[in-house]
Structure 1
């Protein structure tokens, strides 16, 4: 079957969760048309407070549905869009991709920039959830499980059931870090 889009989401407000829609339009260099995070400069409120002129490396949020399966085993029922992602995927190990990976998703191309950094809002959404999506490994490495962020490298429409193809960047490859 391969990697596919489960669902797509957008919200014109800075709400935690995003409603599912039939399709989203990705705009090159900007993000998701009609989404609160669309733009060339950062739109996440905490990042805007720190530096409103920094480039928007978080134009599109992708999250793997396999995380929902895992969270169900520890008592958390999560649905597509609940974490505020724009694209819910299945069949692709998003967290293992290196920086600069290009994903063709529907008509669009997304270049992966880094990991989403989970925050306290996750516990506000469901108490106790944060400890299941961010943890520290035995070697002290912080592991973030709430998906990846990217920029739009080619405009296009994305819908549920669209295939996802992966093109890895040239060597040397760099592990994802939070953006």
Structure 2
């Protein structure tokens, strides 16, 4: 298993259940998540991550031009098979340290992504973390499995 990867994009939205828009840099707050993001809060799914490889897979299956943030992920990664990381795994991402709290999720009814695309990889391949140590993350930053 590859123990290093990189951040491809940081994505944010002010409402839940919609695609997120890429930003130049994210400020991640300890025990809260991405500043100004709809999913941040004092719970176990503060930050969502999805691999570029998963997005590419959807595009290869015939989805139309999916890009970073389309699956409402906060961090788009490359080089690590996220859904193979056990819950409890700690990741150093940019200046932050995050802990994997959940692999995949139930897709809620009326998911915009599923309507748009016909399928959603997030329930199978997305992961969630909580922020153990806050800091800044930007595209190009390294991801290290601790």
TM-score (norm 1): 0.73
Superposition pairs of residues 1-179 of structure 1, within 5 angstroms: 2-40=4-42, 56-76=43-63, 77-119=65-107, 120=109, 121=111, 122-126=113-117, 128-130=118-120, 133=121, 144-167=123-146
Q: Unpaired segments of 5 or more residues in structure 2?
A: none
Q: Unpaired segments of 5 or more residues in structure 1?
A: 41-55, 135-143, 168-179
Runs of 4+ in 1 over 6 A off after TM superposition: none
The CA deviation at 1:125 is 2.4
Greater strand fraction, Structure 1 or Structure 2: 2
The CA deviation at 1:118 is 4.7
Q: Which has the higher contact order (CA 8 A, sep 6+)?
A: 2
Q: Report the count of equivalent residues.
A: 140
Whole-Å separation in 2 of the counterparts to 1:73 and 1:11: 26
**CA radius of gyration, larger in:** 1
The CA deviation at 1:145 is 2.7
TM-score (norm 2): 0.89
